[in-house]
Amino acid sequence: MIEALAGLLVALPLAGAALMPMVAVLRRRGTRWLAFGLHLLTFAAAAAVFARTAATGEAIAHRMGGWPGPFGIELRLDGLSALIALLVTGLSCFVASAPVDASRGATRRASPVREGLVRGALSMLVAGLVGIAATRDVFNLFVFLEISSLAVYTLVASGGGRATVAAFRYLIAGTAAGSLYLLGVGFLYGLTGTLNMDDLAARLPGVEADAALTAAVALIAAGLAIKAALFPLHGWLPDAYVFAPAPAAGFISAVMAKVSAYALLRLLGETLRGIPAGAMALETMVWLGTLGVLVGGGMALAQRDAPRMLAWSSVSAMGAILLAVGIGSPLALAGALFHVVAHALAKGCLFLGVGGLAETLGAGDRRALRGLGRRAPWTAAALTLAAFSMIGLPPTAGFSSKLLLLRASLAEGGPAGVAAFVALLASSGLAALYFLRVLEGIWFRPRPEGRPAQRLPRALAAPVLSLAVLVLLGGVFSAVVEREFVSGAVEAVAGATADER
Amino acid sequence: MKARLRAAAAALILGGLFVGLLAGVRDLPPIGDPSSPASTHVSPRFIEEARRETGALNMVTAVLADYRGYDTLGETAVIFAAGLGAFVILAASIGGPRRETPGPGLSHRVDSLLLDTAARVLAPFLLLFAVYVLVHGHVSPGGGFQGGVLFGLGLVTLRLVWGPPRPDRAASRFGPGVRASFLLASAGLLAYIAIGIAAMAFGGAFLDYGVLPLGQDPAHVRELATLGVEAAVFVAVSGTVAVLFETIAVGVAETGRPLPNEDPAPVEAREEG
């Protein structure tokens, strides 16, 4: 029964992606609640799967077509995959019912047909991301990477105007990334004759072709690193996040790059760990992640535009996550995964809130947020909580995850560990500077003359508030989050690598 | 200066990639080597057992639609997503005021004996050949993707000359042509997923065709179901081809890019963004 749910986890949102355009062109309405229902159903399935893996500590497998291991394609949800699937499907519920066309200036409502089509793309994105998390086949992972990429370009471009240009640049970078990854998979297949991750891990140590193996690892790592926005391959990110419509930006900024970080962890940290090039790629990732933390933070400080500042802070956060993945100790992985969850909640909240406000105001200048505290205290409070989490202040989820990351980099020691420690501390300082600057405007400055009053569309206010509550709960009950959500995922990776030794 | 630096950096990166790939490729087993891992690990089972296990005469079809049928579902979704994306970006996102009277664009029948006759001669063969490519994919090169593209092009040929199914309502933005195309594309993808879920309903895994109660031995049922999913791919792909065509048709009608015999209408560019 639970195995069937694992199989439906991808099939449901995929069916939704096909169904919603159909309903949209036939009935011209009704996709809003259909989308919400479908995303909720998928989330329920993911929650059931997650609960089972957490309770038994065992992975739930689903063999597509009934074919075993290397001959067919296997989906397998262990603690790590189930956590990612839970995060993706959960966050999709928050944006599924939002109006897709809160486009900048919002003078015109989108036609219901267009709304249905864009909702179809969102559903397609969820299917692709959950597929990446669930599959155990490296080629199947590429297919899902393509599905999620095409869907995300559509969502970004649906903002119109400059969003189209941002989406095009994203498309070029993403296609290059996909090609590199696929080339790497081709090398691996030529060397081992298999595409199954477990089979690969078993057969790779026996392969004696160092140059080809190094090429394979480098191609796969580079491809996924572009998708995960690892510095200096993050060029697509700021424009794509800034110009996407608010609901799409909220969802994309929360999960998109992180699912690629998951794929990096899965492949480099598990499947390819046994070979020297894999270890080298992880070491490089620690250093590049450290640089990304600093550069992202610095660039965020330099921005005047609030959404753009948030986008650069995402580059910084991805650096922190990836450097922890590179360190790879259980403590570091716990930190990375906790940070994935904390950052997804907080950044989703911020992008939905700030993006939604900027769109109704028609400008993203951070001064546009001045006076928000008096006008809309609840929204302002939610954004403040999320900003505290980004800085890493207690009692938010961001504090707990930053603390884990700092402890992990200290425990790692060596020049890389120390550099990571310093960079993480510095990034919190930088985040404090750039977020407090905005918060000061929100709470202590009057609304600028001649500006329209800020108000968040109601369909965005509910997600913003509930995400902020989750950020707070994640911090207050951080021990519970660590024990119930993160530890199972860490064991899934650490257990697999322990078996090898 | 900056552009030149950038070009130099790009050349350096691409050159490095090229050299790295060369070094890597040298290490791979020679192409066609019967003792290479690619020919000895997984593929022997496909070669030896495909006929018995899946009933398909064509090994490629067996791998594509059965052993790795899940990938093929994904690829169908990729094509669907591409059509959907193109339509959202190019046709459904068009900003600015609509034209008072949408131009005829590609939404009306073309009054030309020449084109009409050519379409009448061409289309039946195109459509029939498409179905042949689909069905024959079982035993020879071909299948749902190739047949679907041909069928879609047949539809586009007719649509170009005869206009959309109900031209009286074609003036609206999402006219009957758009509707029919999306219905076709969606139905194909949904049918594929439905076959997968039907297998689960009868106690198998997703896409585990063997359990479907079609009154035959499992290999034969698998062969029939393989044809079923290929047909679903066929419908989805032909629908997507039609969606891509409608994308252009809506653009022509809506953005006011004039056809040669029309008066040009002013278009206000979208300012915000």
Residue A480 DSSP one-character state:
H
Token reading at B126: 């195109």
Mean pLDDT to the nearest integer, A130-140: 94
Task: Please report which confidence band the pLDDT of residue A500 belongs to, taking 50, 70 and 90 as the band edges.
Answer: very low
State how far the Cα of A209 lies from the Cα of B38, in Å rounded to an integer: 15
Across the interface, do B189 and A17 touch by the CB < 8 Å criterion? yes
Name which of A491, A387, A80 is nearest A262 in CA terms: A80
Q: Is there a domain that residue B31 lies in?
A: no
Q: Is the ipTM, as predicted for this complex, more than 0.85? A: yes
Give CA angle at A174 (A172, A180), nearest 5°: 105
Single-letter residue type at B37:
P
Q: Is there a domain that residue B9 lies in?
A: no
**Greatest Cα pair distance in chain A:** 71
Query: Which residues in chain B have Cβ-Cβ distances shorter than 8 Å to A217?
Result: none
Size of interface A-B (CB pairs under 8 A): 215
Mean pLDDT to the nearest integer, B64-78: 92
Q: How far is CA B77 from the centre of its chain?
A: 9
| A453 backbone dihedrals φ, ψ, rounded to 5° | -65, 140
- A63/B contact by beta carbon, under 8 A: yes
Q: Is there a domain that residue B92 lies in?
A: yes
pLDDT above 90 (res B127) = yes
Q: What is the pTM of this model?
A: 0.92
Q: Give the residue numbers spanning the domain of B186.
A: 59-272
pLDDT above 80 (res B255) = no
Task: Please report which confidence band the pLDDT of residue B100 belongs to, taking 50, 70 and 90 as the band edges.
Answer: very low
Q: Is there a domain that residue B154 lies in?
A: yes
Q: Which of B39, B67, B92 sits opposite A117 (nearest CB)?
A: B92
- Answer whether A341's CB lies under 8 Å from A321's CB: no
Q: Which of A65, A193, A243 sits opposite B67 (nearest CB)?
A: A65
Mean pLDDT to the nearest integer, A139-156: 95
pLDDT above 60 (res A280) = yes
Task: Please report which confidence band the pLDDT of residue B273 belongs to, taking 50, 70 and 90 as the band edges.
Answer: very low
Q: Is there a domain that residue B244 lies in?
A: yes
- A25/B contact by beta carbon, under 8 A: yes
Cis peptide before A232 (omega within 30 of 0): yes
- Answer whether A46's CB lies under 8 Å from A86's CB: yes
- A15/B contact by beta carbon, under 8 A: yes
State how far the Cα of B142 lies from the Cα of B145, in Å rounded to an integer: 8
- Kindly report, residue by residue over A183-228, the tens digit of the pLDDT: 999 999 999 989 999 899 888 888 888 888 999 999 999 999 999 9
* Beta-ladder partners of A234: none
Q: Is there a domain that residue B11 lies in?
A: no
More confident site: A42 or A368: A42
State how far the Cα of A92 lies from the Cα of A255, in Å rounded to an integer: 9
Name which of A352, A382, A384, A372 is nearest A452 in CA terms: A372
Q: Is A472 helix (H, G, I), strand (E, B) or coil?
A: helix
State how far the Cα of B71 lies from the Cα of B206, in Å rounded to an integer: 12
| A75 backbone dihedrals φ, ψ, rounded to 5° | -95, 135
State how far the Cα of A118 lies from the Cα of A124, in Å rounded to an integer: 10
Find residues 277-316 of chain A whose CB sits inside 8 Å of chain B. Answer: none
- A169/B contact by beta carbon, under 8 A: no
Across the interface, do A193 and B80 touch by the CB < 8 Å criterion? no
Query: Which residues in chain B have Cβ-Cβ distances shorter than 8 Å to A8?
Result: 197, 200, 206
Single-letter residue type at A147:
I
Residue of A nearest to B68 (CA): A72
Q: Is there a domain that residue B171 lies in?
A: yes
| Total length of chain A | 501
Mean pLDDT to the nearest integer, B71-94: 87
Query: Which residues in chain B have Cβ-Cβ distances shorter than 8 Å to A117?
Result: 84, 87-88, 92
The whole-chain average pLDDT of chain B stands at: 81
Residue of B nearest to A194 (CA): B42
Q: Is there a domain that residue B211 lies in?
A: yes
Measure A263 CA to nearest chain B CA, in Å: 18
DSSP-assigned states of every residue in B222-252 = HHHHHHHHHHHHHHHHHHHHHHHHHHHHHHH
pLDDT score of B191: 95
How many Cβ atoms from other residues are within 10 Å of residue A222's Cβ?
Answer: 19
Across the interface, do B77 and A104 touch by the CB < 8 Å criterion? no
pLDDT above 60 (res B72) = yes
Question: In which element (H, E) is residue A385 found?
Answer: helix A377-391
- Kindly report, residue by residue over A420-474, the tens digit of the pLDDT: 999 999 999 999 999 998 888 888 888 776 666 667 777 788 889 999 999 999 8
Among A42-51, A453-462, B235-244, the minimum mean pLDDT is found in A453-462
- A19/B contact by beta carbon, under 8 A: yes
Residue of A nearest to B207 (CA): A65
Q: Which of A72, A104, A215 sits opposite B67 (nearest CB)?
A: A72
Query: Which residues in chain A have Cβ-Cβ distances shorter than 8 Å to B41?
Result: 70, 192-194, 203
Measure A109 CA to nearest chain B CA, in Å: 11
pLDDT score of B82: 95
- CA–CA distances in Å: residue A475 to residues A103, A150, A280: 33, 35, 34
Find residues 53-92 of chain B whose CB sits inside 8 Å of chain A. Answer: 66-71, 73-75, 77-78, 80-82, 84-85, 87-89, 92
What is the number of structural domains in chain B? Answer: 1
Measure A349 CA to nearest chain B CA, in Å: 22
Which position has the token pair 């130099």?
Answer: B8
Among A290-294, A472-476, B187-191, the minimum mean pLDDT is found in A472-476
- A117/B contact by beta carbon, under 8 A: yes
